[in-house]
Amino acid sequence: MKNTNGGKKVYVGMSGGVDSSVAAALLKEQGYGVVGVHIKMWGDPEIPCTFKEDRYDAMRAAAHLGIPFETWNLTAEYKTAVVEYMIAEYAAGRTPNPDVMCNREIKFGVFLRRALEQGADFVSTGHYVRQEPEFPISNFEFRNKKKHDFKNSSIKNLFKIQNSKLKIAHDLNKDQSYFLWTLTQEQLQHCLFPIGGYTKPEVRAMAKKIGLPNADKPDSQGICFIGEIDMAEFLKKYIPVKSGPVVTTAGKVVGEHEGLSFYTIGQRHGIEIGGGIPYYVAEKNAKTNTLVVSEGPYDAKLFSNELEVIGANWISGKEPKLPLKCMARIRYRQPLQKAQITKHAARNTKKETMSRDMFYAVRFEEPQRAVTPGQSVVFYLGDEMLGGGIIA
């Protein structure tokens, strides 16, 4: 077909799944010069991983599409930026989100930088999110263009580069905007998200129509380097066990835990307390090494109207006018909740993984269950994702 994109080159991160394969197919159809890249992440050598199978599936999809294919070994970068970060956060008593960090540091960090160095104009992934220009250039804006000196680079950039908005995907069940709140305008100038305007069934239908060999491949679940074992079992390989009491919110000692690092707020399974009562983790008291649990899911200690935010990022590149009433979610796929954001003055704290220079408070209209330090809170206005931060 006619090349409608001027020969611009896009490197597509092909995981081996159907979503990124269809993204590559759509971009090729749109006239881009597409290169498929499979990224090798770090994997625990003692845990079975599907890297070889996934790479083979990505390679077969690229061959079917007739596009060049490369494998990039980013295991060292992934281990440092994602795995070691995750372990350090758990050791500090928080519950991090490795998917958010992988997007920030690997897919839209190392992968993007290396692709641009090799001559790419864009990178693309199979994320379900929509990207739209914030200030579309209209005919009206060009009407008097002869009056401008277009040799001036700043004027040219006014028309060439424009801010992008990130919006919720059309498929609400697959929307992945929650994991992309760290993206910046500098990154978004070089990003394409081709499948955000489609539903998952539509993506699979397209894959079958063009004969992709992985059209029926199931979606991946969990984190590759964790494999089939649970998170606590993985973490015990790197974080020492430090036993302590398990106490109910009423002050009754009901058992012993193996270390606060191995539990997360709201957790029910894995506490290993008998008696037939469903216990939920309500608090982790690091000073006394005490795990506080609620008896049942409706204990008031499990709920909170407020949270603090550190390491915030705004997709537009500018802080919105505050206070701001908006919608927010504190976990993936949580229904959006009414909230208000206010800004607090910077405060002196010990150095943490995320900067605390930008300190915000979020108050929800309704109490939120299991507000978890280390997880992400993400903000929305209508269908636009504004940005987010880490729950302090």
Q: What is the DSSP string of 254-300?
A: EEEES-GGG--TT--TT----SS--EEEEEEETTTTEEEEEESTT-G
Among the three residues 298, 315, 340, which one is the final residue of a domain in this structure? 298
Burial of 253 (0-12, 13-18, 19+ CB in 10 A): exposed
Asked if 315 contacts 166 with a C-beta cutoff of 8 angstroms, the reply is: yes
Tokens 């955000």 identify what position?
196
Q: Of residues 357 and 37, which shows the higher confidence score?
A: 37
Query: Of 182, 231, 195, 246, nearest to 15 (Cα)?
Result: 195
Exposure string over 52-75, b if 16+ CB within 10 A, otherwise e: eebbebbbbbbebbebebeebebb
Encoded amino acid at 36, one letter: G
* Residues in contact with 123: Cβ distance below 8 Å, sequence separation at least 6, in sequence order: 10, 11, 12, 13, 107, 108, 111, 112, 115, 190, 191, 192
Tell me how far apart the alpha carbons of residues 43 and 225 are, in angstroms, rounded to a whole number.
4
pLDDT value of position 161: 56
Q: Of residues 358 and 176, which shows the higher confidence score?
A: 176
Query: Of 98, 51, 86, 100, nearest to 72 (Cα)?
Result: 51
Encoded amino acid at 201, one letter: P
Q: How confident is the model at residue 162 (pLDDT cuts 50, 70, 90)?
A: confident
Checking if the pLDDT of 154 tops 50, the result is: no
pLDDT tens-digit profile of 239-271?
A: 999 999 999 999 999 999 999 999 999 999 989
Mean pLDDT value across residues 62-75: 98
pLDDT value of position 272: 85
Checking if the pLDDT of 146 tops 60, the result is: no
Same domain, 201 and 256: no
Q: Please count the structural domains in the chain.
A: 3
In the chain, DSSP assigns E strands to 9-13, 33-40, 69-73, 122-124, 129-133, 164-168, 191-192, 244-248, 253-257, 279-285, 290-295, 303-314, 324-329, 337-344, 359-369, 376-381, 384-391
Q: Are strands 69-73 and 33-40 parallel, antiparallel or unpaired?
A: parallel
Strand, coil or helix: 154 = helix
Among the three residues 209, 230, 260, which one is the final residue of a domain in this structure? 209
Among the three residues 258, 281, 298, which one is the final residue of a domain in this structure? 298
Q: How confident is the model at residue 369 (pLDDT cuts 50, 70, 90)?
A: very high
pLDDT value of position 228: 64
In a domain, 225, yes or no: no
Distance of CA 192 to the CA centre of its chain: 16
Our CA dihedral for 53, 55, 56, 58, rounded to 10 degrees, sits at 120
Q: Of residues 166 and 352, which shows the higher confidence score?
A: 166
Same domain, 273 and 310: no
Supply the mean pLDDT for the chain. 89
In a domain, 386, yes or no: yes
Active site residues: 102, 224
pLDDT value of position 4: 61
In a domain, 350, yes or no: yes
In a domain, 384, yes or no: yes
In a domain, 221, yes or no: no
Give the CATH number of the domain where residue 159 resides: 3.40.50.620
Same domain, 285 and 374: no
pLDDT tens-digit profile of 204-233?
A: 999 999 999 999 999 987 777 776 678 999
In a domain, 233, yes or no: no
Mean pLDDT value across residues 38-63: 92
pLDDT value of position 275: 75
Tell me how far apart the alpha carbons of residues 391 and 89 are, in angstroms, rounded to a whole number.
12
In a domain, 275, yes or no: yes
Encoded amino acid at 72, one letter: W
Q: What percent of the chain has pLDDT over 90?
A: 80
pLDDT tens-digit profile of 306-359?
A: 999 999 999 999 999 999 999 999 999 999 999 999 998 765 544 444 444 558
Checking if the pLDDT of 169 tops 70, the result is: yes
In a domain, 22, yes or no: yes
Angle between helices 18-29 and 51-65 (to 10 degrees): 20
Same domain, 57 and 157: yes
pLDDT value of position 153: 33
Checking if the pLDDT of 10 tops 50, the result is: yes
Range of the domain at 343: 304-391
pLDDT value of position 324: 98
Tell me how far apart the alpha carbons of residues 153 and 35 are, in angstroms, rounded to a whole number.
30
pLDDT value of position 50: 85
Tokens 């069934």 identify what position?
201
Q: Is the four-CA dihedral 379, 385, 387, 388 of positive or negative sign?
A: positive
Same domain, 113 and 202: yes
Same domain, 291 and 310: no
Same domain, 379 and 271: no
Asked if 379 contacts 364 with a C-beta cutoff of 8 angstroms, the reply is: no
* Residues in contact with 333: Cβ distance below 8 Å, sequence separation at least 6, in sequence order: 173, 178
pLDDT value of position 248: 97
pLDDT value of position 227: 65
Same domain, 201 and 85: yes
* Residues in contact with 173: Cβ distance below 8 Å, sequence separation at least 6, in sequence order: 200, 333
Give the CATH number of the domain where residue 323 resides: 2.40.30.10
Same domain, 45 and 151: yes
Same domain, 194 and 255: no
Q: Is the four-CA dihedral 284, 290, 295, 301 of positive or negative sign?
A: negative
Q: How confident is the model at residue 185 (pLDDT cuts 50, 70, 90)?
A: very high
Give the CATH number of the domain where residue 263 resides: 2.30.30.280
Same domain, 294 and 313: no
pLDDT value of position 354: 45
Same domain, 134 and 48: yes
